[in-house]
Amino acid sequence: MCKERSFNLPTLDGISQESVTAHLGLYSGYVKNVNSLLATQDEILKEPQKNALALAETLRRLPFEFDGMRLHELYFEQWEGGAIALDDSGALGSALTKQFGSVETWKVRFRNVGTMRGVGWAVLYFEKSTGEFLHTWIDQHHQGLLAGLPIILILDAWEHAYLAQFGTGGRTAYIDAWMKNLNWGVIEGRFNKA
């Protein structure tokens, strides 16, 4: 069974506590749903032929709930400890500059991924075999993940992350506020592990 994480989140600049609390409640639901599906699967697997349709549905639903849980954990931990600026001369900043020309150029590209039409996640991966970063969009939590690649940075671009506070046209303002609050020490740690 999965355990719900608690996060040491500061007061965020530009993102309301009400929005964060609602978002954490959504994360809590993913954890509960994962545990429920796992328990259901254990029961269903006792008679798989009799429960074939139920088994298929739980197996189909589990990746959505599980990835929703894990992606939210990555998302929230990026704010833990408060905002810390990216050291442009550190390992991550240097690697971003090498590939994109500057950290600012990379930020514009990442923001463009985050503002594309649709709901999902904007993700920065690092492909160790090529030494390059990859930008992707993940639909529905489990559609679009790049197997085996470590996630360096992740942005929740589902409407629940910004709609109540920023409105239907507010995704760009939300992304700007989100980026102001990042703890780049956490993100640099992910890059160093990659």
In this prediction, residue 145 carries a pLDDT of 81
DSSP classification of residue 151: E
* Mean pLDDT for the stretch of residues 88-93: 97
Map out the domains of the chain as residue ranges: 17-77, 91-193
Residue 24 has pLDDT above 90, yes or no: yes
In this prediction, residue 190 carries a pLDDT of 97
Fold of 91-193: minor pseudopilin epsh fold (3.55.40)
- What pLDDT, in 10s, does the model give residues 58-73? 989 999 999 999 999 9
Q: Which residues, in sequence order, are CB contacts of 11 under 8 Å at separation 6+?
A: 17
Residue 113 has pLDDT above 80, yes or no: yes
Residue 143 has pLDDT above 90, yes or no: no
> Do 5 and 24 contact (CB within 8 A), yes or no?
no
Of 92, 89, 117, 51, the closest CA to residue 185 belongs to 92
> How many distinct helices (H) and strands (E) make up the chain?
7, 3
Residue 11 has pLDDT above 80, yes or no: yes
* Mean pLDDT for the stretch of residues 189-194: 96
> Do 156 and 72 contact (CB within 8 A), yes or no?
yes
**Lowest mean per-residue pLDDT among 22-26, 60-64, 87-91:** 60-64
